[in-house]
Every structure is written in structure tokens, then in C-alpha cells.
Amino acid sequence: MANPVKPNKSAKAISEKPKAILPSGRKDASFFEQVYDVVRLVPRGRVTSYGAIAAYLGTKMSARMVGWAMNGAHHVSPKVPAHRVVNRNGMLSGKAHFATPSLMEELLAKEKVFVKDNMIQDFKTKYWDPSVELSLD
DNA sequence: TTGTTGACCTCTT
DNA sequence: CAAGAGGCCAACA
């Protein structure tokens, strides 16, 4: 009873083929590229979740990988607004991984996105879903 | 080389 | 309703 059903509703057409800039200098990872690209597409004052990005890539189960990608996003060019990426609950789960624990809140504050108790205010309102905003049609 | 961990999410009991 | 386990891909030991 691990997977009684596996709905393959993917049909995603990611024609994006950006350069491969990996934290380790590798150029084989495509998942990371997509993650970086999507996060960079996040408009100012908006926030998204790991699962949303993962789902946009086609596999919402790889939400963990999205977080890993962010880990190297700090030294990637152009800089990836990782501060705009939070978990499903709207909590700044990765704020501790930034240069400074308060850096994430600072950046979000500049985006007019206020945070309270490690949680984004009106998260659902600031929420930015790539699959929806980008409109897959 | 294999095994474990990891900025998560979803399903099952 | 709450808690536990499973699962994805990649990096580190």
C-alpha cells in the first residue's frame, strides 16, 4: 500500500534549456536549473513554495530537491531570490540558511512582504504559483 | 562505491 | 484531528 494509484497528469512541456550552473560546478543537473529559473521569475512582493516549483517541474514529490537547489542558489548567478521561497505553511524554513537569520526577513520586508513569527503575513495573498501565474493552459 | 542526510510535501493509519 | 512513514534527486562521509 505504497502507491495504490499513480495519476500521470504531467504532460508538462519544459522547453527551458538554460546553462548548467551547479554549486559543485556540475552541468548535468537539470532540476536545479529549472528551480533557479522559476524562482528568478517570481515577481517582487510575491512568494512561492517549494512544492509549487516542484509541481511546476512536474514532480511535486521532489519538493525536497527544490530546497537543496536553493542551498546553492546563493552562489549562483544571477542571484536567486531564495527569500521569496518558503514552505507550504508560509514559514521561513530556510531563513536559518541565509547569510544571516534575519536576512530573509529583511529582503522580504523590502519586497513589502512582512513576516511575523517566521511566517509570512497574508501568505495566500502573496502566494505566487508558477503553474498558475505562468499559465500552462 | 554504498549509505545517510536534507531549506519538503502528501498519503495512510 | 494528529502522528508516522514514504518518496523524490543530489551532495557529503
Could you tell me which residues are beta bridge partners of residue A116?
Answer: A119
pTM score above 0.85: no
Residue A65 Cβ under 7 A from any strand C atom: yes
Q: In this complex, which protein residues place their C-beta within 7 A of any atom belonging to strand B?
A: A 1, 4, 49-51, 54, 60-61, 63-68, 70-71, 73-74, 82, 85, 87-89, 93-95, 97-98
DSSP letters, A48-63, are: EEHHHHHHHHT-GGGH
Burial class (CB in 10 A: 0-12, 13-18, 19+), A91: middle
Distance A6 CA to B10 C1' (A): 13
Over residues A56-115, the pLDDT tens digits come to 987 888 899 999 999 989 888 889 999 999 999 999 999 999 999 999 999 999 999 999
Give the whole-number percent of chain A exceeding pLDDT 70.
77
CA A34 – CA A59 distance, rounded (Å)? 12
Closest CA to A23 of A74, A63, A67: A74
Distance A111 CA to C10 C1' (A): 31
